[in-house]
Amino acid sequence: MIPLLNIPRKEVSLRPELLYLANHLAFHSSDLFCLDDIPSSLAPAQTHFVLVDHNVLQGDLGQKFSSRVSAIIDHHEDEGGSLTCKPRIITGSGSCCSLVSEYFREKWDGLHLPADINAQLAKLALAPILDDTSNLQHRVTPADVAAVTHLVRKCQQGNNKPIAEASSSSSSTLAGTTTTVHSKFSQDDFYKSVQRAKLALDHMSLSDLLRKDYKEWTDSSNNIKLGISSVPKSLYWLIQRESQSDKKKKIDDNDGGNDDNDLSSFYSTLKSWSTERSLDVLVIMTRDAGQEDDENNDGGADFTRDLFIWGVTNKAKDIKTRLLNLDKENEKLGLEKWEGTDEFNIESHDRQAWKQKKIEKSRKQVAPYLREVVSKL
């Protein structure tokens, strides 16, 4: 079995949290197997696919290998594919990695691996669970708690080795005596370090941020294609940054630069992205934990979500009106006027931004809702 990242290799660099883990654990990012590493000559009959964190193969993979899905472990809405595969575990949890850890737990424990190897594997599994549940603060299920308890125990057992024997060893000599310091694994510190790496986004372009955490679907009834980009910053941060970038470019080009709210490059980039992905509906979901630089902040009371939607093509131009009308009826997302609506030219007949009051609704819940709206266009 070969773990496959469902992204091109060039996009590995857009996941700083993954690079952080690679740098601190016993593997390198070049060890990862990506979409463009699959040989074009590979025949479907030569393969079996195990789907993790999704339950239907999409895109080019789906067109060629959808009949070769042999197992599924997922926590998203069941799309009804590959009904005969085993195991076929599709159930609710804060993180899919919790379900994966539980499924392999008995076999893993039975391997009796060295403590340091167990700790490395446990950290690799623990990071996405803590990220998905905000360190067990949001969308937590018993499966997540059980998985974290098990994985933290393995991390602690691995970290009980003297640091002098571990890769991060340090010892000091005093009066001819070597003093060895023992390390102690901290779940909170581990979570904060991964989050700091994940939020190091200032160097990324808007195009990078759109493709960094992206998923898409095509409706079978009307062939409308929906793409959703998730960005771990506020929409205000994203748009203001692009506005300032536009202003600086105009000053450098001696072209005025007096309009603080010019978003020409913002919309140009979105349009280019929608063309590249052949999108009819472009969505940006943002989430902001407040004072990201404050490592003592757990993102609780300050946590916010914004939603930007654009019906890029004529057949999807009514998407924002349909969504708003539906949300007024059922209040599933709790859409309210976005704070920057009046400051920036963000609203038109085919696009709009909102503040999402139902912050517990992540893309896992919002995507099926949007797909339902798209199916009725």
Answer yes or no: is pLDDT of 166 > 90.
no
- 220 shares its domain with 273: yes
Report residue 97's pLDDT band, with 50, 70 and 90 as the boundaries. very high
Stated as kind and residue range, the H or E segment containing 352 is strand 351-356
* pLDDT at residue 171, rounded to an integer: 35
CATH code for the domain in which residue 61 is found: 3.90.1640.10
Q: Going by DSSP bridges, is the β-strand pair 214-218/225-231 parallel, antiparallel, or unpaired?
A: antiparallel
Contact by Cβ (8 Å): 134, 292:
no
Answer yes or no: is pLDDT of 44 > 70.
yes
* pLDDT at residue 190, rounded to an integer: 95
- 230 shares its domain with 316: yes
* pLDDT at residue 163, rounded to an integer: 34
* pLDDT at residue 139, rounded to an integer: 86
- 187 shares its domain with 267: no
- 189 shares its domain with 207: no
- 82 shares its domain with 212: no
Q: In the predicted model, what is the mean pLDDT of residues 68-93? A: 96
Domain that holds residue 49: 4-170+179-195
- 215 shares its domain with 147: no
Tell me: the pLDDT tens digits for 325-351?
999 999 999 999 998 888 887 888 899
Report residue 264's pLDDT band, with 50, 70 and 90 as the boundaries. confident
Tell me: the pLDDT tens digits for 235-259?
999 998 888 766 655 555 555 554 5
364 Cβ contact list (under 8 Å, min separation 6): 75, 76, 77
Q: In the predicted model, what is the mean pLDDT of residues 205-215? A: 94
pTM: 0.81
Rounded to 5 degrees, what are φ and ψ at 220? -75, -20
Answer yes or no: is pLDDT of 318 > 90.
yes
* pLDDT at residue 104, rounded to an integer: 96
- 367 shares its domain with 286: yes
Q: How far apart are CA 314 and CA 327, in angstroms?
A: 22
DSSP secondary structure, 66-121, as one string: GGGEEEEEE-S------TT-SSEEE---S-HHHHHHHHHHHHHHHH---HHHHHHH
- 228 shares its domain with 187: no
Rounded to 5 degrees, what are φ and ψ at 112? 55, 50
Domain count for the chain: 2
| Residue recorded with tokens 């594997």 | 121
Burial of residue 252, with CB atoms counted within 10 A of its CB: 0-12 exposed, 13-18 middle, 19 or more buried: exposed
- 279 shares its domain with 248: yes
Query: Which pair of structure tokens corresponds to residue 132?
Result: 């998905």
Helix axes 235-252 and 264-276, enclosed angle (nearest 10): 110
Query: Which pair of structure tokens corresponds to residue 370?
Result: 């949007």
- 188 shares its domain with 230: no
CATH code for the domain in which residue 224 is found: 3.10.310.20
Answer yes or no: is pLDDT of 197 > 90.
yes
Q: Say how many CA atoms lie within 13 Å of 100 toward its Cβ.
A: 19
Beta carbons within 10 angstroms of residue 154's beta carbon: 23
* pLDDT at residue 265, rounded to an integer: 84
* pLDDT at residue 259, rounded to an integer: 53
| Residue recorded with tokens 């623990």 | 126
**Sign, Cα dihedral of 84, 86, 91, 97:** negative
Cross-strand partners of 34? 5
Amino acid at 182: H
Q: Going by DSSP bridges, is the β-strand pair 88-90/69-74 parallel, antiparallel, or unpaired?
A: parallel
* pLDDT at residue 173, rounded to an integer: 33
33 Cβ contact list (under 8 Å, min separation 6): 2, 3, 4, 5
Q: How far apart are CA 183 and CA 166, in angstroms?
A: 9
Q: In the predicted model, what is the mean pLDDT of residues 146-151? A: 97
- 188 shares its domain with 221: no
Stated as kind and residue range, the H or E segment containing 217 is strand 214-218
- 53 shares its domain with 117: yes
Q: How far is CA 155 from the centre of its chain?
A: 24
* pLDDT at residue 248, rounded to an integer: 59
Contact by Cβ (8 Å): 308, 254:
no
Answer yes or no: is pLDDT of 374 > 80.
yes
